[in-house]
Amino acid sequence: MAEDSDLEKTESATPRRLQKAREEGQIVRSRELSTFALLAAGFFGVWGMSGSIGEHLQGMLRAAFTFDHAGAFETRRMMIGAGVASREGLYALLPILAFTGVAALFAPMALGGWQLSAKGLEPKFDRLNPIAGLGKMFSINGPIQLGMSLAKTLVVGVIGGTAIWNRREEILALATQPLHLALANTVHLIAVCCGMTVAGMFVVAAMDVPYQLWQFHKKLRMTKEEVKREHRESEGDPHVKGRIRQQQRAIARRRMMTNVPKADVVVTNPTHFAVALQYTDGEMRAPKVVAKGVNLVAARIREIAAENNVPLLEAPPLARALYHNVELNREIPGPLYGAVAEVLAWVYQLRRFKTEGGDVPLAPTELDVPAELDKGGVSDDEADQEAAETLNATNDDASGASA
């Protein structure tokens, strides 16, 4: 479809998309980096182990060219000599094979790391489609790959050719030198040319790695719709989650009316807000809100509180702050500790007055409520929705109980 075209795939791949691609065996790979690692390991391995390699090669040549009449005409002795020479050659090459093997294993770690995926080994018959093959040949990647190959050949060829051209006089002078000196200088020149070739491959790898990274991430780009769809799949549909939260709030509000008789005090606005607080010393770290509401719900909370002799305190700023900043069955925040402590102290004094008599305690009036917590009133729509979720559910429960 048009929306899935490359032109519209402008979003970077998400972590989930990258992980899925990795599970399918799609990871960043650079052949030039692996080639450079193998050449560098082989070159520096030969350079570092040249003494040991030379001893083994010397022993191999000595055993190969040292023979008598019997050794030249007896097959068994010839095979023994060949085995000894092969063993010496293996000992000479074993360190180089070890270096290159380690480089072959660890070169992929520089980009995508190791990845074992059975999906990468699954047969894909669409690769046998000749039309798709022609499409890949004539796509934009074809000229880019051709350009990279030409650049690699040009870079390595120029560096190697320059190294040989700059040492042309040394190469021509080998013909006039004694044998042992000519051999030593030849080995030196070969080492220099190989080192320059490795340096050339480093340049090629340095150009190929950024291109492979760019190509890999470009291939995994996503459209805006794919990102949104993945977000919905991983996080859930916002509409569904909203309905779930709405149902959870309705259930909590339906239950909260049964907690009003257990409250210690109801803080009111006095008419628009009502918040019921409860605190049990030794069981709670701080007072918590057990019921709250506005307008019709607030009126119902006040009615239930009056029917159950729960004290009512008019403190508009505190009522609004508690309503807006504390969820049901949650403890009050730290900035409201002082104000709520004064309210609870008044409640305890009121209880003592009812049992022991004495002076009527004065209700607190100047409560310390931070201005940023007092967010004012609520909209009529929110109040109506709250009433519908709370009062209708409560009436339904009451009707069911009476039935």
Same domain (yes/no): 261, 217: no
Same domain (yes/no): 286, 365: yes
Residue at 63 is within a domain: yes
357-366: pLDDT as tens digits: 878 888 888 8
Residue at 97 is within a domain: yes
Q: Could you say which of 108, 142, 171 is where a domain stops?
A: 108
Residue at 385 is within a domain: no
Q: Could you say which of 108, 141, 164 is where a domain stops?
A: 108
The Cα–Cα gap between 282 and 104 comes to 66
- Phi-psi domain of 179 (left: phi exceeds 0; alpha: psi -120 through 50; beta: other): alpha
The Cα–Cα gap between 212 and 110 comes to 13
* CATH (domain of 369): 3.40.1690.10
Same domain (yes/no): 190, 288: no
The confidence score (pLDDT) of residue 168 equals: 83
Residue at 39 is within a domain: yes
Report how far apart, in Å, the C-alpha atoms of 341 and of each of 53, 114, 332, 369 are: 87, 62, 11, 12
What end-to-end distance do the CA atoms of the chain give, in Å? 58
Same domain (yes/no): 217, 260: no
The confidence score (pLDDT) of residue 267 equals: 92
Same domain (yes/no): 349, 279: yes
Q: Could you say which of 198, 222, 246 is where a domain stops?
A: 222
365 CB contacts (<8 Å, ≥6 apart)? 315
Same domain (yes/no): 166, 270: no
Same domain (yes/no): 273, 360: yes
The confidence score (pLDDT) of residue 124 equals: 56
Residues with pLDDT less than 50, the chain: 1-6, 393-403
Domain that includes residue 73, residue range: 29-108
Same domain (yes/no): 260, 326: yes
The Cα–Cα gap between 210 and 30 comes to 9
Report how far apart, in Å, the C-alpha atoms of 10 and of each of 13, 57, 140, 221 are: 9, 59, 18, 6
Residue at 333 is within a domain: yes
Closest CA to 374 of 259, 234, 224, 273: 273
The confidence score (pLDDT) of residue 5 equals: 47
Dig out the tokens for 72 from the structure. 């030249």
Residue at 1 is within a domain: no
147-180: pLDDT as tens digits: 777 877 888 788 878 888 888 888 888 888 887 7
The confidence score (pLDDT) of residue 277 equals: 93
Same domain (yes/no): 262, 215: no
Report how far apart, in Å, the C-alpha atoms of 214 and of each of 28, 84, 210, 221, 343 are: 10, 52, 6, 11, 65
Same domain (yes/no): 181, 84: no
Residue at 384 is within a domain: no
Total domains, the chain:
3
The confidence score (pLDDT) of residue 204 equals: 82
Same domain (yes/no): 280, 323: yes
Residue at 2 is within a domain: no
